[in-house]
Amino acid sequence: MRRFVWRLQRVLDVKTKEEQIKRTELFRLTEQLAARRGELLMRQRILQDLLAEIPRDSSAERLGAQEFFLRRVAVDDERIRKLQEEISALDVRHREKTAEVLAARRSKEGLEKLRVQAKEEYIREQERLEQNELDENTTIAFARNEESNR
């Protein structure tokens, strides 16, 4: 039996590679998003801890702690706002990249189904040709036996 050759195999290979690349990009985006969210939570937690410590200090130390907190909160609030903007932008890119990965996967799966159908058709055709050849050989052998018996 001849080897199965599918004309669209290169297209399937390209689609598979494309999906892998998009998955890698999605993974990187997910890592960036997680890192930014972690940094945001860390900064918010530091500010909450500083705020919680202020009432515990004695009155003389409290003024210094409040001053330190107020100076720090101005800087951290700006950084928190920028982190939230980055997270929003990364979140949008993440959703877009997820949609791209799903589209690439659907395209690849469609081609894989076509390949399976083509291979099944090829096998059926090869079996039909083999059966025809066997029938022909049987007919020839039968005809030769009939001629030799006469």
Q: Percent of the chain, pLDDT > 70? A: 98
Residue 51 domain-assigned (yes or no): yes
Give me the domain span that covers residue 60.
9-110
Q: What is the pTM of this model?
A: 0.72
**Spatial distance between the Cα atoms of 30 and 24, rounded to a whole number of angstroms:** 10
pLDDT at 149 over 80: no
2 domain residue, yes or no: no
Gap between the terminal Cα atoms of the chain: 37
Q: How many domains does the chain have?
A: 1
Helix (H) / strand (E) containing 111: helix 59-149
Tokens at residue 103, please?
A: 């589209």
**Could you tell me if residue 125 is inside a domain?**
no
> Rounded to an integer, what distance in angstroms lies between the CA atom of residue 117 and that of residue 112?
9
147 in a structural domain: no
pLDDT at 33: 96
Distance CA 42, CA 46 (A): 6
Position 33, amino acid: L
Assigned domain for 94 exists: yes
**pLDDT tens, residue by residue, 41-92:** 998 998 888 788 877 777 777 777 777 778 888 888 899 999 999 999 999 9
Look at residue 46 and tell me if it is in a domain.
yes
User: What would the DSSP string read from start to end of 56-96?
Assistant: GS-HHHHHHHHHHHHHHHHHHHHHHHHHHHHHHHHHHHHHH
Tell me the pLDDT band of 39, cut-offs 50, 70 and 90: very high
Q: What is the pLDDT of residue 116?
A: 96
| Structural domain includes residue 130 | no
Residue 30 included in any domain: yes
